[in-house]
Structure 1
Amino acid sequence: MFDFRQLRYFVTVAEELSFTRAAQRLYISQPPLSQQIQALENDLGVRLLERNKRNVSLTEPGKLFLEQARQILDKAEEARAQMADAATGFSGKLRLAYTVSVTFHPALPQTLLRYRSFAPQVRLMLCEMYTEQQYAALVAGELDVGFVRDEPEHPGMARQLRLDVIDREPLLLALPANHPLAGRDSIWLREVAMEAFIVQPRELAATLYDRLAQIAAKANFHPLIRQHAQQINGLLVLVAAGMGLALVPASMRSVNLPGVKYLELEDPDAYMLLALASRIDDPNPVVRRFLSAMTEPE
């Protein structure tokens, strides 16, 4: 069976129509070039070139085989380039998840835009997923990278994962625009200890739920939960309706819902983590390239 070297030799001779010039172009002597062309013809069982002392020309089968040889070599080069890209993380696929609250944070669109310009051949597979579900999927090998809002709860899981912190996003108190305290710029949570709060169910948003409980505990009260909302933007709708107050990430300001005012919280613990999570031992070059590109300063 012929090999790529014989194909390259044949294409070069066909382009030069001279064994002498082809040998010079290939940096080999003429006898081994002639031997390889003859071996190729013997393998195919057809004469590809007519040659005499003065001229070399393609036979009809030779013209047809020239087209095929060029296509085979082009495909081989394409495959070589694709494998090189895959090995260096510039092609393949990346399974990436993010929590619903991250859709309001500029880090998500900025990261996706930057990465798509950096590695346009990588196929991004995106999905929404809560933080704890992301950690379970990462450990199970069902996810490559996740935008998460908290550290893993279980030490065994934490040892398998890498966290690259993007932001410690401040938490704000959302309250109705007609609330007596709405004219303030900031507030201590203890000042609304007697107010009703609106939260997402803990099984959906444990990070935000627990952070409210922690900050309230520092202020020596237990928050009165009056209402639940499945989605984080649903909290704001209920706040605007006067159903209570809500703790939300600062990026939720972008929702700009009429009837809602945001106040900064006077508490150093009033923040939510935003980080990229991945497996420590992940050998996938696409993941390594993504993390390297996205965590390095621009």
Structure 2
Amino acid sequence: MFDLRQLRYFVEVAETLSFTQAAQRLHISQPPLSQQIQALEADLGVRLLDRNRRRVALTEPGRIFLIEAKAILARAESARTVVAEAAAGFTGQLRLAYAVSVSFHRALPETLLRFSHAAPGVSLHLVEMPTGAQYDAILSGQIDVGLLRAPPEGIANARQLNVEVIDEEPLVVALPSGHRLATRDSVTMAELARERFVAPPRSSAATLIDRLNLLAGKAKFRLNIRQEAQQIPSLLPLVAAGMGVALVPASLRAVSLDKVAFVNIDDPEACLLLAVASRVDNTSPVLDSFLRTVREARAKLGLG
């Protein structure tokens, strides 16, 4: 059966119609070139070239085979490229989950934009998922990587996880614009002790609720949650309506509502982790490429 080398040799001869020029282009001597063409013709059982001392010409079978040989060589080169890109993590698929509260963090669009440019051949599947569910999905192989809000404390098989911190994002208090504290640069948690809060249910935002309870406990009060909303961004209209105040990630300042003011919390523990997590034994080149992109985005944004 003929091989790719013989096809390349034949194409060079067919295009130059000269064994001498073809040998020079291929950087080989003329006798081995002639031998390979003869072997190709013998394998096919047809004469591809008419040649004498004065000229070389394609036979009709040779003209048809030239078209096929070029197509085979192009396909082989395409296969080589596809394999190389797959090995480099530039093709394939990636299943990415992210916590709802990450939606407005600048690391998410920066990472996705960079990754789409670096690996346009990768099919990216995105899904919103709470932090705890993300760890379970990563360990079970349901997703490849997650952008989440808490370390894997209390997670079974945590040693199988690779977790890299991207940012420690501050929490801010969202207040009705007419609130007595709305014009302040910062407030303490103790100053919020008598406030009614709006918050997501713990089932959808356990990390945030646990952090709120921690901060309230340090200030020696219990949260008075008047109203719940399933999504963290949905808290802001409730704040605007005067139903309460809310502690939210600082990135939600991007949601501009006329009747909502954002004020810093004067407590170093008023923050939420942002991390990227994956399985230690996931050796996918696509995942490796994505994690590199996360680190590049983190460096550009000055995070971590």
What TM-score do the two structures reach when normalised by structure 2?
A: 0.93
2:27 paired with 1:23: no
Give the corresponding residue for 2:276: 276
Give the corresponding residue for 2:256: 256
Q: Superposition pairs for residues 131-170 of structure 1, below 5 Å?
A: 131-170=131-170
Conserved? CA contact 1:147–1:275, under 8 Å: yes
Superimposed CA distance per residue, residues 92-145 of structure 1 (whole angstroms, 9 cap, x where no aligned partner): 222222112211111111111122222222222222111112111111122122
Conserved? CA contact 1:96–1:126, under 8 Å: yes
Conserved? CA contact 1:94–1:125, under 8 Å: yes
2:200 paired with 1:200: yes
Aligned-pair CA distance for 1:39? 2.2
CA distance in 2, matches of 1:120, 1:256: 32
Counterpart of 1:142, as a letter, is Q
Residue range with higher mean Cα deviation, 278-287 or 201-210: 278-287
Aligned-pair CA distance for 1:155? 4.5
CA distance in 2, matches of 1:27, 1:259: 76
Q: SS of the residue aligned with 2:57?
A: strand
Residue range with higher mean Cα deviation, 203-212 or 177-186: 177-186
Counterpart of 2:8, as a letter, is R
CA distance in 1, matches of 2:250, 2:27: 66
2:106 paired with 1:106: yes
Counterpart of 1:264, as a letter, is N
Counterpart of 2:241, as a letter, is A
CA distance in 2, matches of 1:111, 1:133: 22
Counterpart of 1:123, as a letter, is S
CA distance in 2, matches of 1:30, 1:183: 87
2:66 paired with 1:66: yes
CA distance in 1, matches of 2:266, 2:194: 17
Q: SS of the residue aligned with 1:156?
A: coil
Aligned-pair CA distance for 1:146? 1.4
Conserved? CA contact 2:111–2:293, under 8 Å: no
Superimposed CA distance per residue, residues 209-236 of structure 1 (whole angstroms, 9 cap, x where no aligned partner): 1100000011111111211101111111
Aligned-pair CA distance for 1:252? 0.8
- Give the length in aligned residue pairs: 298
2:75 paired with 1:88: no
Superimposed CA distance per residue, residues 252-284 of structure 1 (whole angstroms, 9 cap, x where no aligned partner): 111111221212111110001111112222111
Superimposed CA distance per residue, residues 179-236 of structure 1 (whole angstroms, 9 cap, x where no aligned partner): 2222322111122212221111111000111100000011111111211101111111
What TM-score do the two structures reach when normalised by structure 1?
A: 0.94
CA distance in 2, matches of 1:267, 1:102: 21
Q: Superposition pairs for residues 44-59 of structure 1, below 5 Å?
A: 44-59=44-59
Superimposed CA distance per residue, residues 67-106 of structure 1 (whole angstroms, 9 cap, x where no aligned partner): 1101110110111011111112222222222112211111
CA distance in 2, matches of 1:240, 1:26: 75
Q: SS of the residue aligned with 1:290?
A: helix
Q: SS of the residue aligned with 1:147?
A: strand
Gaps of 5+ in 2: none
CA distance in 1, matches of 2:261, 2:150: 26
Counterpart of 1:67, as a letter, is I
Residue range with higher mean Cα deviation, 19-28 or 239-248: 19-28
CA distance in 1, matches of 2:295, 2:24: 49
Aligned-pair CA distance for 1:246? 1.0
Aligned Cα root-mean-square deviation (Å): 1.6
CA distance in 2, matches of 1:57, 1:78: 29
Q: SS of the residue aligned with 1:184?
A: coil
Conserved? CA contact 1:164–1:295, under 8 Å: no
CA distance in 1, matches of 2:214, 2:226: 18
Residue range with higher mean Cα deviation, 17-26 or 284-293: 17-26
The runs of 4+ residues in structure 1 deviating greater than 3 Å are none
Give the corresponding residue for 2:209: 209
Gaps of 5+ in 1: none
2:302 paired with 1:290: no
2:180 paired with 1:184: no
